[in-house]
Chains A and B, each alone.
Chain A
Amino acid sequence: MRRVRPGVLLAVGGCFVAADVGLLLAFGRAGTEYGLRFGVDLYILQIITVLAFLAGGYAAFRLRPGNATGVLMVWLGVVAAVNDSAGYLLVTTAWPVVVLRTVAVLFVPVQWAVAIHIVLAYPTGSLRDRTAAATVRACYAAALFGPAVSLLGRHAPLCGRCPATLALGLISTTMARRLETADVALWAALITAGLVVFARRFGRASARERRILAYPAGAVAVGAVVVVAFLVQVVLARGFGIRLQLPLAEAFEVTAALVLPAGFLLGLLRERFEEARVSDLVRQLAVTPPQALSSVLARALGDPDARLVYAADSGYLDQAGRQVEPAGHQRLTPVGNPVQPTAFLLHDRILELQQQLVDAVGNAVALALDNARLHAEVLAQLAAANASRARIVEAADNARRKLERDLHDGAQQRLVSLGLGLRVVQDRLAGADPDTLALLDETGQQAKSAVAELRDLARGIHPAILTQQGIAAAVEQLTLRCPIPVRRHIANLDRLSPSIEATAYFVVSEALANVVKHAQATAAAVTIDCADGRLRVRVTDDGTGGAAAVPGGGLSGLADRVAAVAGSLTIGDLPDGGTSVAADLPCTPA
C-alpha cells in the first residue's frame, strides 16, 4: 500500500473529491426530499475532511519523506473520499451508480482500520510493538467482515428509486441485520482496544515522546469519544430499541474534518518549530555559562531529561561530575568530532526520528564547548602569567630586602666601627700636632658621611621599617622626611602580605617624590584604608597637576608593579587643581 506514490494517491483522491462535489451540486439543491440523507452542511464537512487528510498527509509526506504517517493520512483521505458517495440516496438505477455505491459502502470500514493504523503507528509511521501490530491487523481483517455481510445479504434500497448495493442474497435479511449489529459491536471493541494500546503507550512514554504525542492524543481522544458514543448509540438503537438521537454523526464529522488531521499534522510539524528552537539555542549559547548547557539544550531538544554527558572510564558523567546511567528509552549522540567524541548528548530515543535536530543541537553545543575550552585556556594562561609576574615582583622584593640587610650588617657596621675607632684614636692622640688631629677629624667626618649615604642607599633599596613595623609606620616615616607638609589618614591596619605592603609603600614613596619634583605643591595628603578586601592608597597634592604615566617613567613602572599584585593604579588631576595618585590593591593579610 505504501508503494503507491503519494502524488498518484493525491490525484486519485482528487478525482473522488471532484465526484463528491459533483454529487453535492447535483443533489444538494434537491434537498433531503430527493437526494440527500442528511443536511447539506454534513456533506460539505465530509468533503472538507477528505481535503484535510489529503492536504495534511501530503504536507507531512513532503516534510518527512521517510515517515509513513503522511502516506497513511493520504490513504485515509482517499478512502474517505470513496466512502462519501454512500451518503447520497442516488435516485437512479444506472449500473455505474450502483457500482459506485457498492464500492463506497464496502470501503466504509476500511477508513476505521486506516485511522487506527495511523494512530498506533504515530509518530514513526511503523508499528513497533506487537500489541499495536496485532490490533491493526485485526482492524484490517474486521474491515473485510462488514463488506462480506453486505455482499452476502440483500439490501433494501433506501428509497423507491434508489439503487440497492450489489448483493448475493445468500443469507436472510434478519441474519444480515444481526451480523451487521455484531460488526458494529466488533468495531466498538476494536476502537476501544486501539485506544487502550495508545493510552498505554502514552502512559509509558518518556517526557519527550509525550510532547510529540500530545496533539494527536488530544485529537484522538476527542474523536474516539465521539465514535464510541456513536457506535453505542447505534447498538442501543438496533439491539435494544433505545433511541438517543444525539447529533453524533455531525460531531464526528467536525472532529474528523478538523481536529484529527490538524492534530497529526501539528505533531509532525513540531520538527519545523524545533528548528526555530535551534536558532534560539545558538542565541542563548552566547550568554550561557558552559555548566548551564544541559538545561539550554534540553529546552532546544524539547526533552526535559536531555543533557550533556562526558565519557569516563567508569561510564558517563554529567556536567556536575555525577555518574549517569542512560535509561532504556535514552540514546547517546556524539558531540563534535565523531571519531573521538569526548562529549555526548543524552536524549530520548524518539529524537532519533529527528536526526537533523539532534545534529544541529550537537553542533551548536560543540561550538559552545570549544569556545568554553578556549576561554578556560586563555584564563588559565592569564592566571599563570599573573602569578608568574607576582612571583617576579616578590622575588625582587626579597632580593632587595636581603641586599638592605647585607649592607646594614656588613659595610654599614664596619663604617660605624671605623668612625668609633677614629674617635678613640683622636682621644688617645689628644696632645698630637694640630695637622694630624685635623686630618683625623676630617677622616671621621668622611666616615660619618659615608654611613649617612649608605643608610639612604639602603633605605632606597628596601626600607627596614617596612619589614619591621608595617605600612603605617613606614609611610609615616616617608611623610616626615618629605620637605613639604603631608597630612596622613592611615587606617589601623593589621600586617599585610609583604608584597602588598611593599607595593603600597612604593606607591606613596614614588607619588611623594613626584610631588616634590614636579608639582610645585605646598602640601600633600596620604590616605590609606582597607575596606571590602581592598587596600586603597591615595596621594594627593595641591600643585599644578598634569601628572601622567609616561612609558619608562616612575609612575609607569609603579603602574606595572601595582598590576603585578592584581591591583590598579589611577593617576588624574583633581577638580580644583593638583594631582591624585590612587592605587587599589588586594588587602591580603600577612
Chain B
Amino acid sequence: MKTDGMADRATRLARRVLEPRGYEVAGEAAGRLGALAATHVLRPDLVLPDVALPDVDGFAAADRLAARPEPPVVVLVSIRPGSDYGGRVDRAPVTGTR
C-alpha cells in the first residue's frame, strides 16, 4: 500500500522497487483521506505514507493508522531528511522512515 501526494511517476517507480522484492502493491491513493479510506477496505500489512510537505499530513495519517485495532506497519516516506521535521519523526508511531 502506497499513498502519495506526488507525481504518478514516483508511484510507478515505487511499484517497480517494491514488487521485485516480493511486496504485493494492494493499492495507491492520492491524498490523506483517500488513503485512510483505502486502508479500511484493503487492510494492507504495510503503509508507506508520504509526509508530503507542506501540509505534513503523513504524520497525522500515521497517528490514525496506529490507533486502529490491528495497526499496519507504517514507514513514513519523504524526499526531505527526517531532521527537517524536528522531533515529529521521533514521536511518530511508525516502524521506519525513508
Contact = CB atoms under 8 A, between A and B. Distances in A.
B79 A468 contact: no
A356 B17 CA distance: 99
A277 to B, nearest CB: 68
Contact of A417 (B9, B20, B80, B84): B9
Contacts of A473: 86-87
B17 A420 contact: yes
B19 to A, nearest CB: 10
Interface stretch (A124-132, A138-146, A476-484): A476-484
Contact of B88 (A408, A467, A469): A469
Nearest to A468: B56
A100 interface: no
Contacts of B85: 465, 468-469
Nearest to A451: B79
Given A417-B9, A424-B16, A465 B79 contact: no
A279 interface: no
A170 to B, nearest CB: 124
B86 A469 contact: yes
Contact of B13 (A420, A463, A469): A420
A469 B16 CA distance: 34
A476 B17 contact: no
A473 B88 CA distance: 9
Interface string B75-98: 000011101111110000000000
Most chain B CB within a 10 A radius of its CB, from A427, A428, A468, A474:
A468
B67 interface: no
Contacts of A424: 13, 16-17, 20
B79 to A, nearest CB: 5
B63 to A, nearest CB: 16
Nearest to B20: A427
Most chain B CB within a 10 A radius of its CB, from A412, A413, A481:
A413
B53 interface: yes
A464 interface: yes
A206 B17 CA distance: 100
B60 interface: no
B10 interface: yes
B37 interface: no
A421 interface: yes
Contacts of B9: 417
B69 interface: no
B86 to A, nearest CB: 3
Interface in A464-511: 464-465, 467-469, 473-474, 476-477, 480-481
A455 interface: yes
B86 A477 contact: yes
A63 B80 CA distance: 91
A284 B87 CA distance: 61
B84 A468 contact: yes
Contacts of A480: 83
A468 B54 CA distance: 7
Contacts of B53: 408, 464, 468
Interface of B: 6, 9-10, 13-14, 16-17, 20, 53-54, 56, 79-81, 83-88
Across the A-B interface, give the 3 residue pairs with the lowest CB-CB distance, nearest first. Answer: A473-B86, A424-B16, A464-B84
5 contacts: A421-B13, A459-B84, A468-B56, A477-B86, A481-B83
Interface of A: 408, 412-413, 416-417, 420-421, 423-424, 427-428, 455, 459, 463-465, 467-469, 473-474, 476-477, 480-481
